Amino acid sequence: MLNKKFNTVILASASPRRLDILQSASINPTIIIPKCTEILPENIEMQDAVMFLALKKALWAEEYIKEKELEYKKSLIIAADTVVYYNKIIGKPKDKSDAFDILNTLRSNVHYVATGVALINTLSYEKRGFCDVTKVFFKDYSDEELKAYLETDEPYDKAGAYAIQGTFSKYIDHIEGDLNNVIGLPLYKTLEEINKL
């Protein structure tokens, strides 16, 4: 499907989870890691925040291709950004103490995970963006269980300080929405939007 429309698919992300999701759909992208700041405007809403950052990453990759004069004229750029929301936007933890505070707050509660996706067709310069939101319901867990989890490498490069597909999955009661969205890329919605390009 994608091979007929684009010579190359570019994933503007360093996330191995997003790469895994695309590869599960037989899409093997070229990786370009955006080197742009992720500073958000003040008082920005959750959905706007992730779409803002996803577009910023996609535009950075587009400019990088032009500057380096790479032969990606008929390419698709995919960029995404994911945040957790519970009373405020929660990104990746700064350290172990921050991760503890985040997961202590989310314990026995319901929160939202939003992923913004930006798509750029480098031939037509057409751009599309969307946001998908999933509700995540956490079980209760003890301080000892939480501290043991924080001794693993899993929490520290993930929004909300947990990996729903990892060892933390036993503390998930249920979700309402797309699991892949929580992992980092809502695959089916992304493929739908690509088909509209």
Sort 165 into a burial class: Cβ within 10 Å, 0-12 / 13-18 / 19+: middle
Answer yes or no: are the C-beta atoms of 129 and 116 closer than 8 Å.
yes
173 is catalytic: no
List the catalytic residue out of 20, 48, 81, 143: 81
Tokens found for residue 45: 């809403």
Instruction: Please report which residue ranges of the chain form alpha helices under DSSP H.
Output: 2-5, 16-24, 46-68, 96-106, 143-150, 179-183, 187-196
Answer yes or no: are the C-beta atoms of 193 and 186 closer than 8 Å.
no
Element holding 128 (H helix, E strand): strand 127-138
**Residue written as token pair 């520290």:** 156
Residue 83's nearest CA partner among 132, 138, 130 is 132
Q: Nearest 5°: phi and psi at 133? A: -130, 135
Answer yes or no: are the C-beta atoms of 108 and 139 closer than 8 Å.
yes
**Coil vs helix vs strand at 52:** helix
Catalytic positions, written as ranges: 81
